[in-house]
Structure 1
Amino acid sequence: MILLPYDKGFLELPLPESEKVHLLNPPSSGFKPEGTQEEIVEKALSEPINSEALSKLAENKENIVIITSDHTRPVPSHITMPLILSEIRKVNENAKITLLISTGMHRPMSDEEISLRFGEEVLRQVSVVNHLAEKDEDMVFLGILPSGGELWINRLAMKADLLLAEGFIEPHFFAGYSGGRKSVLPGIASHKTVLFNHNSDFINSPHARTGILKNNPIHKDMVWAVEQSKLAFIVNVIINSKKEIIHCVAGHPIKAHEQGCEFVEKLTAVEPIPADIIVSTNGGYPLDQNVYQAVKGMTAAEATAKSGAIIIMVAGCREGLGGDKFYHQMADASSPKETMEKIMETPNSETEPDQWQSQILARVLLKHKVILVTDPSLAQYVRNMHMEFAPTLEAAFEMAIAEKGRDAVVTVIPDGVGITIKPCE
């Protein structure tokens, strides 16, 4: 019996023990950290990478802005943020501190979500602002990105006399890794900047893949954005499948992030086990909260799939599809091929919202059938998007076996967003 994360619980996959059934877990699943979660963060803050201590940077600063992740990222801010604030307050009791939520182009966080994420102790000390990417009047122009796009960043961050960021690092399906520079771009960037950075040429690059930073055009723009924003210091954690902190890096926004990515690579990189049927997840809530996010787990399956394999994707999708444009880019086309052709014909300067996610989903569907195990209320929408729907794991597996046969090789990935799989040749 294999337990797969689904929403805030688990689904059981009753597969028999067999040499044809493989479980693909990252090395991090057995990693034992030294110290408590708080001690891990405190140690990182006391040993900043290529940077002065946060307490030193905070001296005499009047307006401090801390970029922080939104509801789509399981950052344990109830642990990290009190420690960050403590470092600031021990040298600067009177600074105005604002948490700027890096929504990118996601919806704003609700008051309830903010309260649950940070806790009342933190919220008594700070003000909280949601970044709104489409409010052009809130943006400041900082120059032209290496790729040629315009860099517009939230004015609130640019007015700070000390700009910080907290977040977490995990494999990312086109930026290589999350964390670090992503707090700025796409986190607090204008929609115009995000859309150009996520253009079809960049997404199509073989370097814009999980675990790749070198020659990744998306990453290159993000690093440049960080440099122009004057982001001074980051605190980025690495978490396990239980959403517990197992490592932390703090310090220079580029150098600390690079060391964090190296740590994540060692804990997540695995060789593919090519299979006829691949079962993947997004590691449960909050990363499986909609169909849009579920595409990430599909790319992990894609990386270990035989030609023409069937991907069974498990995602709770409690918030539905994740965007009308994403839905219609797939559903309004006669096939994934039509979606892909339209996207690839779109000029980089005219990238549409959610286009990148549709492009990646179309890429997967051009090679593989996808069966999505999710809320039954989404069944017809899923089918309209050229995927199959199954109400249960058992039903999905029987659908796959009916096509691939009882002798099919099966690979199960319990956490598709917490793993780096080298692509099959």
Structure 2
Amino acid sequence: MSIIKLPYGKDFMEANIPDSRLNAVLESNMHYYKPKKSQEELVVEALENPIGTPRLKDIAVGKNKIIIIASDHTRPVPSKVIMPLMLEEIRRGNPNAEITILISTGCHRGTTKEELISKFGPKIVEEENIYVHDCLDESMLVKIGTLPSGGDLIINKLAVDADLLISEGFIEPHFFAGYSGGRKSVLPGIASRTTVMYNHNAEFIASDYARAGVIEGNPLHKDMLYAARAARLDFIVNVVINAQKEVVYAVAGDVDLAHIEGRNFLNSQCKVQSVPADIAISTNGGYPLDQNIYQGVKGMTAAEATVKEGGVIIMLAKSNDGHGGEQFYKTFQETEDLSKLMEGILATPREKTIPDQWETQILVRILLKNKVIYISDTSDEMIQDMHMIPAHSIEEALEKANEILGNKDGKITVVSDGVSMIVE
């Protein structure tokens, strides 16, 4: 019997799987990668050796209004490590700079003060100017151009008015943008809902190139990089983190060149080969990425890449915040026929994309091929409304999976952290 600990919220669940059924446990090498320097030393080294740009302290000279785009409460970016060093580097070159930290919520809800304190620590929240982006606040949005795909590029006014725009973030596999980080700070990070909707259209999401680890030919990435350039995002600090959310690698400099360097490192650690199985168990890596069902879809895509068609996906995501998207939830709640739902989504013009359509599209894609058993702390009714099967333990989920498959001997592949790996 193999006992496997899987992240769930801020804790773990144990899976007890007979050795005869266990195909493989897919893990990122990142879990075992040990940098030779501390988190702070890695970030400082990146700041001192930027890729494709001068040092941030030199770029900051003469710049009065400096905006630092930072991730929101849904991303485990170790800002307590990164942000103080970025602020120090800026003020080394320009002690009198007017600095604002712009929280890139994209289309998420606003980040609360408590969440800001958890993210940055009380000192930065008390002493620095922080503004939380709102994708619907027309008074704070400005059109700066047209995306390669044809959509309006509308972003936060603070970024447009900045003398210097920079960002912090982290790089991990992203289930349709290829990778997080870099250019995503602008689109979707500080873009208007109109712009995000157009970029996340059904045609792009359906592309075979809109997958984790894919950049070449990815239509969403093309728009995102263009948006970052158009917004004059001149400098980024991006990190790669381990399962403990600690910095193990850092890059700084040009929004594309530094990001490429970070992606190359990530690829060397997190690409794994799929091991097809009747049952695939996946997670979202625990808190803060498994707070709702919406985010949980990401971890399902890793299981999708290794489960046999007609098999069962068991997804662990605490989902203590519920569904994570009202329209996302209602679409499933009001739908009986998933095939017709998919037909409707694929027929939707780019400019008619609605909130959360992309997440709906990906979940429907998965559900049309596989049954999904969803382990969470949210209500069974909500899970059932979303055409999934509720469970509250791995043992219960496996029993239900056995019933669906009609046998107790189905092979199982475990994806220990579905958002930190590229399953090929």
TM-score by length of 2: 0.98
Q: Which residue does 1:92 correspond to in 2?
A: 94
Q: Which residue does 1:46 correspond to in 2?
A: 48
SS class of match (2:341):
helix
Unaligned runs of at least 5 residues, structure 1? none
Q: Which residue does 2:384 correspond to in 1?
A: 383
- Distance in 1 of aligned mates of 2:132 and 2:382: 30
Alignment of 1:199-348 (within 5 A): 199-348=201-350
Give 1:85's aligned amino acid: L
Q: Which residue does 1:71 correspond to in 2?
A: 73
Q: Size of the alignment, in residue pairs?
A: 421
Q: Which moved further from structure 2: 118-127 or 164-173?
A: 118-127
SS class of match (1:68):
strand
Give 1:399's aligned amino acid: K
- Distance in 1 of aligned mates of 2:85 and 2:122: 14
Q: Which moved further from structure 2: 403-412 or 29-38?
A: 403-412
**Moved segments of 4+, more than 3 Å:** 18-21
Q: Which residue does 1:122 correspond to in 2?
A: 124
- Distance in 2 of aligned mates of 1:166 and 1:230: 15
Task: From 167, 170, 184, give the equivalent of 2:186.
Answer: 184
Assess if the C-alpha contact under 8 Å between 2:23 and 2:275 holds in 1. Answer: no
- Distance in 1 of aligned mates of 2:137 and 2:259: 29
Q: Which moved further from structure 2: 260-269 or 117-126?
A: 117-126
Unaligned runs of at least 5 residues, structure 2? none
Give 2:39's aligned amino acid: Q
Q: Which residue does 2:402 correspond to in 1?
A: 401
Residue-by-residue CA offset, 1:51-102 (whole Å, 9 max, x unaligned): 1000100112111100000001000000000000110111221111100000
Q: Which residue does 1:168 correspond to in 2?
A: 170
Cα deviation for residue 19 of structure 1 reads 6.3
Residue-by-residue CA offset, 1:212-249 (whole Å, 9 max, x unaligned): 00000000000100110001100000001111110001
Q: Which residue does 1:131 correspond to in 2?
A: 133
Cα deviation for residue 393 of structure 1 reads 1.2
SS class of match (1:44):
helix
Assess if the C-alpha contact under 8 Å between 2:11 and 2:286 holds in 1. Answer: yes
Cα deviation for residue 385 of structure 1 reads 1.1
Assess if the C-alpha contact under 8 Å between 1:249 and 1:259 holds in 2. Answer: yes
- Distance in 2 of aligned mates of 1:249 and 1:185: 20
Q: Which residue does 1:30 correspond to in 2?
A: 32
Residue-by-residue CA offset, 1:266-317 (whole Å, 9 max, x unaligned): 1110110000000000000110000000000000000011121100000000
Residue-by-residue CA offset, 1:248-278 (whole Å, 9 max, x unaligned): 0100011101111111111110110000000
Q: Which residue does 1:419 correspond to in 2?
A: 421
Assess if the C-alpha contact under 8 Å between 2:35 and 2:248 holds in 1. Answer: yes
Assess if the C-alpha contact under 8 Å between 1:311 and 1:368 holds in 2. Answer: yes
Q: Which residue does 2:7 correspond to in 1?
A: 5
SS class of match (1:10):
strand
SS class of match (1:292):
helix
Cα deviation for residue 407 of structure 1 reads 2.0
Cα deviation for residue 406 of structure 1 reads 2.3
Q: Which moved further from structure 2: 347-356 or 111-120?
A: 111-120
- Distance in 2 of aligned mates of 1:285 and 1:139: 31
Assess if the C-alpha contact under 8 Å between 1:22 and 1:273 holds in 2. Answer: yes
Cα deviation for residue 124 of structure 1 reads 4.2
- Distance in 2 of aligned mates of 1:19 and 1:134: 49
- Distance in 2 of aligned mates of 1:402 and 1:49: 54
Give 2:400's aligned amino acid: M
Q: Which residue does 1:356 correspond to in 2?
A: 358
Assess if the C-alpha contact under 8 Å between 2:178 and 2:210 holds in 1. Answer: yes
- Distance in 1 of aligned mates of 2:309 and 2:71: 37
Let me know the Cα RMSD of the aligned residues. 1.0
Assess if the C-alpha contact under 8 Å between 1:185 and 1:225 holds in 2. Answer: yes
Q: Which moved further from structure 2: 28-37 or 364-373?
A: 28-37
SS class of match (2:379):
helix
Task: From 20, 23, 27, give the equivalent of 1:21.
Answer: 23
Give 1:392's aligned amino acid: S
Q: Which moved further from structure 2: 323-332 or 204-213?
A: 323-332
Task: From 155, 161, 176, give the equivalent of 1:159.
Answer: 161
- Distance in 2 of aligned mates of 1:120 and 1:93: 21
TM-score by length of 1: 0.97
Assess if the C-alpha contact under 8 Å between 2:153 and 2:227 holds in 1. Answer: yes
Q: Which residue does 2:114 correspond to in 1?
A: 112
- Distance in 2 of aligned mates of 1:130 and 1:43: 29
- Distance in 1 of aligned mates of 2:313 and 2:21: 19
Assess if the C-alpha contact under 8 Å between 1:96 and 1:126 holds in 2. Answer: no
Identical residues among aligned pairs (%): 50
- Distance in 1 of aligned mates of 2:125 and 2:244: 25
- Distance in 2 of aligned mates of 1:21 and 1:406: 14
Assess if the C-alpha contact under 8 Å between 2:21 and 2:409 holds in 1. Answer: no
SS class of match (2:233):
coil
- Distance in 1 of aligned mates of 2:59 and 2:126: 23
